Structure 1
Amino acid sequence: MSTPQATWFGQPRGLAILFLTEMWEKFSFFGMRTLLVYYMTKQLLIGQENASLIYGLYAACAYLTPIAGGYIADRWLGTRRAVIAGGAIMSVGHFMMASEALFLPALATIALGNGLFLPNLPSQIHGLYSAQDPRRGPAYNLYYAGVNLGAFFAPLICGTLGELYGWHYGFGAAGIGMLLGLLIYVGGARYLPPDTPRAAAQSVSERSGDVTRQIVLLVSIALVVVVFRGAYEQIGNTFAIWADQGVDRRISAELTIPMTWFQSLNPMFVFLLTPVLVIAWTRAARRGRDPSPLVKMAIGAALVASAYLMLALVLSVQASAVSWLWAALFVLLLTAGELFILPTGLALFGQLAPRRFAATVMALWFLGSFGGNLLAGVLGSLWTSMGASGFFVLMSGVAGLAAVLLLVIGRRVTEFPESQSMEFPQARRDSVTGV
């Protein structure tokens, strides 16, 4: 297809629409997630172990339903109608959170809508560019910025409303955010790529054995991401509990940091670190030293492991509540690891997904999020029995295991004689840059 006129940071107009839609969707998702554990333990009086399990089960289901949602979109609904239907269903679910009696049905409704919405939005990025367009790789960087922009404002707005004025005000703000994202998507639909014809025949490349190898590779990566997210997703689970109970949040005698604000540190650091990493990787690529995507992902998992190990060491020498500066440093290291692994994987899946099944294959990436959130919920239930220091050591080991597995996969991939025909990013790093 011809390259659309660039009107936003040198990118097609459609990317701005996808960026803003995702920004508001993530505002609603993270706004509700910021309040969820606190709402269960403080308002509904659910014990910590059960609250962590419910949190993990909800987050896992939110990333399991995209498997079905991607298949439904590719076979019947089409990408655009799936996004609209999913956004509308999620909006209803967020407003259902205003009723305590509808708490569990509301979570189920949001998860169902997310299944249609989540895989079909990023699957449209690839269609905005021709195969040779050098802007395609950086487009994923900008899209990921939309994720984090919404995630940054969500705790500040939804968290503050819920903490100071009532939980339902925070949930209501999340619902309004989802509606705004839906309106932006519908209003900017003319700038988006057309749906791939659902009855179209597969291209020659999609009928080849390369597709099977690509999918096997992507499934392997998704399974390792399950392990990684078991540690990473504690940021909204046990870390939130520790920030409330184990961190000295006082800046002065009159000023105390609200517990929900720590959830905004992660997206804030994304904005601060992303330009630094992009510049560093661009310079490395010019010198021919840019690491492959799987090596980058392994580095990211190792950074997360070091972040948890740091907290464990701090707690081993300080029994009382630790300074909020340690919590902020933890989030900084965690974010650095995130930028190496998560957007890199998203770009990798976006490139290798066969066009006719783009949403379905993209959903495999979110399969890692499903399993990882489920694992995070199970691991989070050990928080009380293990204690903070022991739990952080365990999370360091989980993230470290993911780093080792990614390196093993990377070594095996480079041994494939057909890896060039697979267009694996070691041969095309210009098209998958990975933040």
Structure 2
Amino acid sequence: MSATDGGGALTATPRKTFLGHPRGLVVLFLTEMWERFSYYGMRALLVLYLTQHFLFGPREAQGIYAAYAALVYLMPVVGGMIADKYLGSRKAVIIGAVLLVAGHFMMAFEGNGGREELTIGATTYELQVEGRDQNRTIFAVNGEERTQVTISPEGVSRVGAEPAAAAAADAAVPAVAEATGFPAFTAAGGYSLETKRDLGFGEPILFLALSLIIVGVGFLKANISTVVGHLYDENDPRRDGGFTIFYVGINLGSVLATAACSYLGMKYGWAYGFGLAGIGMTLGLITFILGQSWLEGRGGPPNPQMLQTRKVLGLPFEAIFWIGGLIAVFPVWLLMQRHQIIETSLPWLAGLIFASVVGYVLVKLRGAERSRMLVALTLIFFSVLFWALFEQAGSSLTLFADQSTAMPTWFNAPMTQMFNPGIIVICGPIIAALWVWLGKRNMEPSTPVKFSFALVLVGAGFLLLTWASATQAGVDFRVPLLFLFLTYFLHTMGELCLSPVGLSMITKLSVDRVVGLMMGVWFLSSSVAHIAAGFIAQATSTDTVAGVVTSPELALQTYGSIFGTIGWTGVVVGVVLLVLSPLLKKGMAGIH
């Protein structure tokens, strides 16, 4: 079998294999497994870290998460273009991995968190929270005095003083104070709460860490998949199998991360969970560097000599991209601290680009080329809704797990994010085999039909949670964990109907001269979907104090209402797409 040098030229050197595949696949499998370990380990903790450590309100925390996720999906478009034109995929992966290691370890620096102060009369107490799981307790601290309290929409109660609280409420007395100590009960309106944001370096370092991760993913994410493609000749029958193995690596890393990082972060401290994510990314970087010989020069730069001989400001051209990667972190850091700019501008940018592509298709193309491109754009449009609903996993569904789901003692809210990758590892091969089995009998659903199934399934998952919230919650206003698992199961089945065929659909339906542009539109649509997901997640927000929800009943009702709305939206839009699927299939002009 042939191999290539850095520039892609063929040589006659026999290539060594591992289990029938190029040895380089082992390197890429392990690198991506550890990279996804770091990414999903951090993601599992992020929203809870924002709400419980920095005391961002749920609405603000979910806005920050949405902006972060949107940029994570947008930056690979830029990183892919830089690699294709200058760096090559391998060098881009190394730059990205170094930035990711720095970002993940920086996340382990907690710094000063937020501080909530409660003022009753002339006395101010600092609210301190013990624990990070569902058994969190709030203490009001003033000097040597430390009192456990509960805070609800009715007022502030000293734990153990419920009878006094009831008497105060009946008498409509703002506060019932004893001779000494914390008041037994203070009715709403008789106290004030203030969140202090004097965090020192904690908050700037948080956003710097997120920015390093965003830029690092931009260099690494798309390009490591490209290296997998370079391992195989164009018509190599092992190619699809290689990508399947690579996909298993992604989800295996996700399962391990959400279990291990979530456990350490919630039980021992945020720094331990984020630090483990950093260790995972470091292992990925070491694996990739030590495994260079197994990659046999695949994914090298298009012009290796230029990177070394061409000088810019006296530096090798390659060094400019290392420096540029660091410089790019600064504007991202500024944007992350003003996430509303991203929420406002990105949808307009995406709409402008989408309209421009539609205009190009209508004016420049004819016949089958035009109809196929219009079908591709239509499916991209529908995919935005799917991802906006599906990506509630990192935000509103994580907070739902924390605030409104009954957890076993050995489980915690971030661990629920292991359901999705775990189901993919188990069910992914089964679904893939099902499509092959149906295809041999000319019964495989078309791409538009698969997209419609995905929308119906993701909507059905939210409708299940709505029903469970209304009928299955206990006296503590928490639903059994089983229903959240079943929701993730339905969502994952939807993902398996849409995600694996999405990029394939783009390459099959797009005109050759604009395939790269259409790939960019696909990633941009995913980025916009995360912004939309943020708006949805923010609608589920209810009041919290010191990171603890004040009214579990209201929280559950709000989740049930919003989940019902988006659930029916997904189902109805999915049915509409199913009705349109014969027309779209006809427009695909012979492509399945």
TM-score under structure 1 length normalisation: 0.84
- Aligned residues: CA RMSD: 3.1
| CA 399–117 in structure 1, closer or farther in 2 if over 3 Å, else same | farther
Please say if residues 126 and 351 of structure 1, whose CA atoms lie closer than 8 Å, have aligned partners that are also in contact.
no
How much does 1:260 deviate? 2.0
One-letter code aligned to 1:270? I
Which residue is 2:7 aligned to? none
Corresponding position: 1:378 with 2:544: no
CA deviation profile, 1:37-81 (whole Å, cap 9, x unmatched): 111111101101101111111111111111211222222222221
User: 1: distance between equivalents of 2:488 and 2:277?
Assistant: 23
Q: Report the 3-state secondary structure (helix = DSSP H, G, I; strand = E; otherwise coil) of the residue aligned with 2:586.
A: coil
Corresponding position: 1:165 with 2:268: yes
User: 2: distance between equivalents of 1:299 and 1:401?
Assistant: 11
User: 1: distance between equivalents of 2:218 and 2:433?
Assistant: 35
How much does 1:224 deviate? 2.7
Mapping 1:23-422, distance limit 5 Å: 23-99=33-109, 100-101=202-203, 102-192=205-295, 193-195=298-300, 197=302, 218-250=376-408, 255-319=409-473, 320-349=477-506, 362-384=519-541, 387-400=558-571, 403-404=574-575, 407=578, 411-416=582-587, 419=589
TM-score under structure 2 length normalisation: 0.63
CA deviation profile, 1:109-144 (whole Å, cap 9, x unmatched): 211111111111222333333333333333333222
User: 1: distance between equivalents of 2:579 and 2:293?
Assistant: 44
| CA 346–405 in structure 1, closer or farther in 2 if over 3 Å, else same | farther
Q: Report the 3-state secondary structure (helix = DSSP H, G, I; strand = E; otherwise coil) of the residue aligned with 1:121.
A: helix
How much does 1:399 deviate? 3.0
Please say if residues 64 and 367 of structure 1, whose CA atoms lie closer than 8 Å, have aligned partners that are also in contact.
yes
Please say if residues 119 and 362 of structure 1, whose CA atoms lie closer than 8 Å, have aligned partners that are also in contact.
no
Q: Out of 155-164 and 313-322, give the one that drifted further.
A: 313-322
Q: Report the 3-state secondary structure (helix = DSSP H, G, I; strand = E; otherwise coil) of the residue aligned with 1:344.
A: helix
User: 1: distance between equivalents of 2:517 and 2:71?
Assistant: 16
User: 1: distance between equivalents of 2:81 and 2:240?
Assistant: 25
CA deviation profile, 1:342-371 (whole Å, cap 9, x unmatched): 122244446678999987754544323311
User: 2: distance between equivalents of 1:50 and 1:409?
Assistant: 38
User: 1: distance between equivalents of 2:572 and 2:224?
Assistant: 31
One-letter code aligned to 1:223? F
Please say if residues 229 and 372 of structure 1, whose CA atoms lie closer than 8 Å, have aligned partners that are also in contact.
yes
How much does 1:231 deviate? 0.5
In terms of fraction of residues, the more helix-rich structure is: 1
Please say if residues 223 and 368 of structure 1, whose CA atoms lie closer than 8 Å, have aligned partners that are also in contact.
yes
Q: Out of 406-415 and 46-55, give the one that drifted further.
A: 406-415
User: 2: distance between equivalents of 1:211 and 1:197?
Assistant: 30
Please say if residues 83 and 301 of structure 2, whose CA atoms lie closer than 8 Å, have aligned partners that are also in contact.
no
In terms of fraction of residues, the more strand-rich structure is: 2
Please say if residues 67 and 360 of structure 1, whose CA atoms lie closer than 8 Å, have aligned partners that are also in contact.
no
| CA 9–405 in structure 1, closer or farther in 2 if over 3 Å, else same | farther
Please say if residues 67 and 363 of structure 1, whose CA atoms lie closer than 8 Å, have aligned partners that are also in contact.
yes
User: 2: distance between equivalents of 1:85 and 1:187?
Assistant: 15
User: 2: distance between equivalents of 1:215 and 1:133?
Assistant: 27
| CA 271–35 in structure 1, closer or farther in 2 if over 3 Å, else same | same
One-letter code aligned to 2:566? M
How much does 1:286 deviate? 1.7
CA deviation profile, 1:243-289 (whole Å, cap 9, x unmatched): 11111113xxxx44222221112111112212321222222122122
How much does 1:295 deviate? 2.3
Specify every segment of 5 or more residues in structure 1 that has no aligned partner in the other structure, as ranges: 200-207, 427-435
Q: Report the 3-state secondary structure (helix = DSSP H, G, I; strand = E; otherwise coil) of the residue aligned with 2:302.
A: coil
One-letter code aligned to 1:33? R
Aligned length: 410
Which residue is 1:17 aligned to? 27
Specify every segment of 5 or more residues in structure 2 that has no aligned partner in the other structure, as ranges: 4-13, 110-201, 305-364, 543-556
User: 2: distance between equivalents of 1:196 and 1:397?
Assistant: 48
CA deviation profile, 1:11-45 (whole Å, cap 9, x unmatched): 33333332222111111111110110111111101
Which residue is 1:431 aligned to? none
| CA 50–89 in structure 1, closer or farther in 2 if over 3 Å, else same | same
